[in-house]
Amino acid sequence: MSSVDVALVFGTRPEIVKLAGVARLLGPQARIVWTGQHWDAGLTTCFFEQYGLPRPHHLLTGVGGEARGQQIGRMIAALSDHFTKRPPAVAVVQGDTNTAAAGALGAHCAGIPVVHVEAGLRSFDDDMPEETNRRLIAPVADLHCAPTPTAAAHLLREGIDAGRVLVTGNTVVEATLETLPVEADAHRVLARYEVVRDAYVLATVHRPENTDDPARLAQLLDQLAAAGLPVLMPLHPRTRAAVDRYGLRRSVTRLRQIPPLDHATFLALARHCRLLVSDSGGVQEECTVLKRPLIVVRNSTERPEAVRAGFARLAQPGRQLACALREMLDDSTLTGRLARVPSPYGDGSASAEIVAAVRARYLTPDRTPGAQLPAPGYAPDRAGAVTAHRP
């Protein structure tokens, strides 16, 4: 590895999913740096293998399971040291995780330019750690790859120069399309979990706003159990720990608990469920590709595009969730209508757009790092794909 390579900073499963296409297109120029924020090998190793990625070129230790402040501090120190000793041409971070924030700040401290993939998302909810991470990355990023015109507009309002903002679409689109099993395999997945197409709910819960409030978590589990359809729920380690801590084992046993899923299995189940219920950011994007309705069990969302397009509905546990469950499960025409709605997150070319920009801006000998890009286009085309300018 040398200064002509691109450091891709991973630390969580969603980052593997969303940066795998970028890594594959960069080929030998990709330096994979793994922070270990998600430390459970059973939840991460299979994702590297599934996406055909090599073993990380550099690994951090002692990060997984730490409190947020300690985790981010350790990652910044370790990444800054690594980038100082072995400077890449550029560091790429994705999304709003602790890893993304630390990767951006660590690279910045080492004098390395930063590319932020999935830039510009805003929930305007300061109680969300992810919102803080997004706002920490923005001032130090050299190139902002915004997934939608809305995200780009947020950056411009915050004073980011238009020449540093590129609307690319979201890499989740191609990741979903490439990973979704063919129908024969998907039917085998449904048989394995003993569910029937369009006759079950798939639920995932892991965010602190749900897992750290015992009354809210209990209400959420009880309302899912009363949905009237089988509810498959892969238990996240944080959720499992909260269930044990708050004595909610009886509530969760009313649901169909299943082990954590690899991405392909999750997509197969999501593609054929009647309804998704989740607090995940990625699921809000994936549902628009899979054409399935979603209830977002959160206080706020940084992905309003899915809501505006009709795929998602924001609902907190309690009256909002009860109403959303009843109305969306009773609407027999909902999935048929969604099948005709284009995803607001692009046409599946985001990884190629990002790699083209990175190569032109940082890896071409006659281009100066940080040179201005043409002003991006912000309007979706007729098919719903986001227009982006290549430099």
Which residue matches tokens 């190793």?
45
341: Cβ contacts below 8 Å, ≥ 6 apart: 288, 291, 309, 310, 311
Active site residue 154: no
From 57, 58, 187, 206, active-site residue? 206
Sign (positive or negative) of CA dihedral 364, 368, 374, 376: positive
Q: What are phi and psi of 165, to 5 degrees?
A: -115, 125
Check residue 170 and give left, alpha or beta (phi > 0: left; psi -120 to 50: alpha).
beta
Altogether, the residues listed in the chain come to a count of 391
Q: For the chain, where are the alpha helices, taking DSSP H only? A: 13-26, 41-50, 68-85, 98-109, 129-137, 149-157, 172-179, 183-192, 208-211, 214-225, 237-245, 249-252, 263-272, 281-290, 304-308, 319-330, 334-338, 350-358
In this structure, are strands 294-296 and 275-278 parallel, antiparallel, or unpaired? parallel
Query: Token digits for 190?
Result: 């449904």
Reduced to 3 states (helix: H, G, I; strand: E, B; else coil), residue 390 is: coil
CA 316 to chain centroid, in Å, comes to: 21
Residues of the chain by 3-state class (helix, strand, coil), percent to 5: 45, 15, 40
Phi/psi of residue 133, each to 5°?
A: -60, -45
Q: How many CA within 13 A on the CB side of residue 79?
A: 38
Question: Which tokens sit at 243?
Answer: 């269930």
* Enzyme catalytic residues: 206
